[in-house]
Amino acid sequence: MSNGRATQSFRIVNAAAFDDAKVVTTPYTFFLTDSLLNKKAAAALRKDFPDITKTGYLTLDEIATQGAFRTLLDELQSDAFAAIVSAKLGFDLTSYPRLVTVMKYSSPKHGRIHTDSASKLATLLVYMNDTWDDGGAGRLRALYNERDFKPFAAEVPPTMGSSFAFLRSDNSWHGHEPYEGERRVVQITWLTSADELERKKKRNSFSQKLKQLFAPSM
């Protein structure tokens, strides 16, 4: 399987970060990187991050993007990037539709332990926060069951360039201890079909409208 680098060079994504990323297969298939983003692009990414006031994940149809952040999104959605992730996870994702969602603010209800729905094949999250304290709140964990945050197979500090990618399975448990506040993250998910992509976009938009009716913005 090609790693995709021969067909596209990246400006924001640091493709070399994948070289040293160790693939873990227990309790499910995942890998971590701590430098997925080009360090030279950090200031521009910080400046161009969307001006979001709502909590939770928003689709690209719901936000305005520009500059370095827009370039990052284009790279994450490219076939070349999908080929690199495919090579690491051992599953060819290049022909599947992609859903990108962006979060700026987390609420206490986010991060509950879950596996993802069966319509999702794989997911990669890349974090964009300058610093994070040493507490467990807001740190994504690869988990062994649907109940316990400890013990965990891996923990991801949501700092600039840290990333977590995994194949969805019936036991791909993950989540983080409750956190309220700014927690910048971009999520790309490869889905089973174009119909599922449209369904998830509509569902997310409807969910955001309900939140506007019943809860104040940040």
| 218 confidence band (pLDDT: 50, 70, 90) | very low
Q: What superfamily would CATH give domain 15-214?
A: q2cbj1_9rhob like domain (2.60.120.620)
Model confidence over 141-184: pLDDT tens digits? Answer: 999 999 999 999 999 999 999 999 999 999 999 999 999 999 99
For the chain, the residue count is 218
Model confidence over 74-107: pLDDT tens digits? Answer: 999 999 999 999 999 999 999 999 999 999 999 9
Shortest CA distance to 72 belongs to which of 191, 142, 138, 163? 163
Q: Using an 8 Å Cβ cutoff, are 116 and 168 in contact?
A: yes
Q: Using an 8 Å Cβ cutoff, are 138 and 159 in contact?
A: no
Those residues whose C-beta lies under 8 Å from the C-beta of residue 177, and which sit 6 or more positions away, are: 111, 136, 137, 138, 139, 149
Domain positions in the chain are 15-214
